[in-house]
Structure 1
């Protein structure tokens, strides 16, 4: 993969992660966290789509490697919800 393709993949993952986080209502961090959330969301979203037998929707090919945009956004939102709930639950103080 070339540097341009890799940077484009990072940009798309960051956008998908940021959109997923905003849909979930939880911000997990900055740009680097959005990139990670975008990649994890793509894995989660594609896994859910495969288990339910759903087709790939709005898939972008970057140098022959497919990246599922819609499933990445949905997976990112699910991931952000779970992490947000876990963070909120573990942040309780004992008074």
Structure 2
């Protein structure tokens, strides 16, 4: 994987992470695009794991250098992750 492929991964992960944060209802940190990219990558891992465990299809994947990136499951995983983080950090602030 070259530098251009990595930058494409980061761009797609940032978009998926931003959409997932919007759906999850909680903005994680103030890091902007880098935080969204991290949330997108973790969301892709979480979402793909959920899809495999529940035997769901991996639809709408983008292949970069022969490696698939599950866009829809990345958004779903990022939304779940931000929802969990929002529940944890909002409960700490109320105490």
Structure 1 counterpart of 2:77: 75
User: Aligned to 1:64, which of 57, 63, 66?
Assistant: 66
What is residue 34 of structure 2 aligned with on the other side? 32
Partners in 1 of 2:63 and 2:35 — Cα distance? Answer: 23
Q: 2:59 & 2:15 partners in 1: Cα distance?
A: 16
> C-alpha distance in 2, partners of 1:31/1:57?
25
Moved more, 65-74 or 27-36: 27-36
Specify every segment of 5 or more residues in structure 1 that has no aligned partner in the other structure, as ranges: none
Tell me which residue corresponds to 2:89.
87
SS in 1 for 2:94: coil
Question: In 2, Cα distance between the equivalents of 1:20 and 1:61?
Answer: 20
Runs of 4+ in 1 over 4 A off after TM superposition: none
**Count of residues in correspondence between the two structures:** 93
Q: Distance in 1 between matches of 2:5 and 2:74?
A: 18
Tell me how far 1:34 sits from its aligned partner: 0.4
Cα offset, 1:82, TM superposition: 0.1
Mapped to 2, the partners of 1:65 and 1:80 lie a distance apart of: 25
